[in-house]
Amino acid sequence: MSVYRRAFLYVTRKKGKTGLLLLILTILMTLILMGTAINRTTAQASARLREELGGYFKIMPDYRKMSINQRVDQALVDRVMEINGIKAYNALDVHYLTVGELSLKPGRFTMEGDSKAQMARFLGNTSSELHEYFYLKLFSLAEGRHIEPGDRGKALLSKTIAEQNGLKVGDVFSARMTEETAGAETPGPDFYFDVIGIYDEGYQEGTNQNTPECDITSNFIFIDAAASQAIKEQEYGSNSLAFRGGAVFFVKDPKKLDDIVADVEDLEGMDWESLRLTANNSAYQSCMEPLERLEGMTSLLVGVIVIIGVVLLSLLLMLWERDRIHEAGVLMSFGISKWNILWQHFLECMAVFLPAFCLALVISMSLSGWIGGWLYDGTVAREDDRQVQEYGMANEPISLKALEEQPAFEVKLSLSGAALSGGVGVLLIGICVGAAFLVIVRRKPRELLTIME
């Protein structure tokens, strides 16, 4: 009789033991599957956050110093970008220009009848997508595209201003430097901008009647680096390529932000008396801490379940194995090897494990979402009211709250997660069957027969 037939007969005839083992394995595998699903979902959410909420650092002239010998220019930006681990940068400038032909969202100056009511804030960017308003999803692009490196004379307007002035993507508007905007005695030439995109300014920070027009977020106009350079030339009369607002560098993995910052500080020829470097991964830290806590908790939970499972299952199988010394002795008296008997016992457990695993899959698929959501609410979402005091990316007049939007957290059992749990289950059974079988394997056939007599 083959070992498979013997295993089949045992499992089908010993219904009580099979039922109990099925129950234990189903519970054990359900817990392992749920723990794995939650753990892996948390790990994936963490990985996604690391990409989405990547840390950044900013280099800007230290305006607190009396004399500044080095400024942030394209050459400096290029050198920093050569360091490994930096994925993008955004060079920043801020200008105030009069937009005579546009009607802005009214504020303090309109109320006061001041001509500064026509003054808008122009934000120079290498890539507007990387400006903090967009990067932190406070603004979103509604139409057109973002400003990209290489653009010239392009602008992004708010939906409010576009609608108020009947502007759409492809239209052109002009702005000029005036006495109000830059102290210029004679108005400068007109700067013309193509509207390449319209943004939705969902975020309105502390706007009221007393807010100057240029501080109202709807009146912000994002322009490209070349246009910003042209304005600077007009403003300062020089051909400086320096970025007055400095440059923000985005790292691929916020975990490595400190190392990258250290590399930047070690760059030769950097005058840190004139420059100021500030690093920030507070958004990442703020979101990651609870996620990492949940990940750690589920890892610990799975570990504890596996250990308890091994102990319980080993004890149960050892108890049953003592009843089978008789059977093992008889089989060995017919020349069946110990390893063949061990294989039979493993097969028996596997025959119960397979339906238990399928049952556990069904149960865990329906429960893991609920349990995961409950754990998530208890650990991650509790951090809702957290505040990130200062992002400091563009020195804008705002005090940002951390992202209100929670990272997507939907617990789903993946194929690889199920396979991993199944593998753990098989390994667990192998260990338990092996441990229980020690009672037989260390005895001679004659001793087994003596015991049974």
**Interface residues with another protein (CB under 8 A)?**
1, 6, 9-10, 13-14, 326-327, 329-337, 444-446, 449, 452-453
Please name which of 28, 63, 14, 140 lies closest in space to residue 364, comparing C-alpha atoms: 28
Comparison of 132 and 348: residue with beta carbon closer to another protein: 348
Q: How far is the CB of 26 from another protein (least distance, A)?
A: 23
H-run or E-run covering 120 = strand 119-125
Q: How many beta carbons lie within 10 A of that of residue 446, not counting itself?
A: 11
Q: Are 379 and 52 in contact (CB under 8 A)?
A: no
CA–CA separation, 53 and 40 (whole Å): 19
Give the DSSP letter string of 382-402.
Answer: GGGG-------SS--S--PPP
Comparison of 8 and 203: residue with beta carbon closer to another protein: 8
State the virtual CA torsion across 184, 188, 192, 196 in degrees, nearest 10.
Answer: -20
H-run or E-run covering 78 = helix 74-81
Q: How far is the CB of 356 from another protein (least distance, A)?
A: 20
Comparison of 1 and 415: residue with beta carbon closer to another protein: 1
Q: How far is the CB of 411 from another protein (least distance, A)?
A: 42
For 340, which DSSP code? Answer: H
What is the CB-side half-sphere exposure of residue 263 using CA atoms within 13 A?
15
Rg (CA), the chain: 34
Tell me if residue 196 falls in helix, strand or coil.
Answer: strand
Going through 228-359 in order, the beta strands assigned E by DSSP cover 247-251, 275-280
Q: Across-strand partners of 88?
A: 250
Q: Are 110 and 213 in contact (CB under 8 A)?
A: yes
Comparison of 79 and 338: residue with beta carbon closer to another protein: 338
Comparison of 14 and 276: residue with beta carbon closer to another protein: 14
Angle between helices 415-441 and 325-333 (to 10 degrees): 70
Q: How far is the CB of 326 from another protein (least distance, A)?
A: 7
Comparison of 15 and 64: residue with beta carbon closer to another protein: 15
Q: How far is the CB of 335 from another protein (least distance, A)?
A: 2
Comparison of 419 and 441: residue with beta carbon closer to another protein: 441
Q: How far is the CB of 323 from another protein (least distance, A)?
A: 10
Q: How far is the CB of 305 from another protein (least distance, A)?
A: 31
Comparison of 316 and 336: residue with beta carbon closer to another protein: 336
Q: How far is the CB of 17 from another protein (least distance, A)?
A: 10
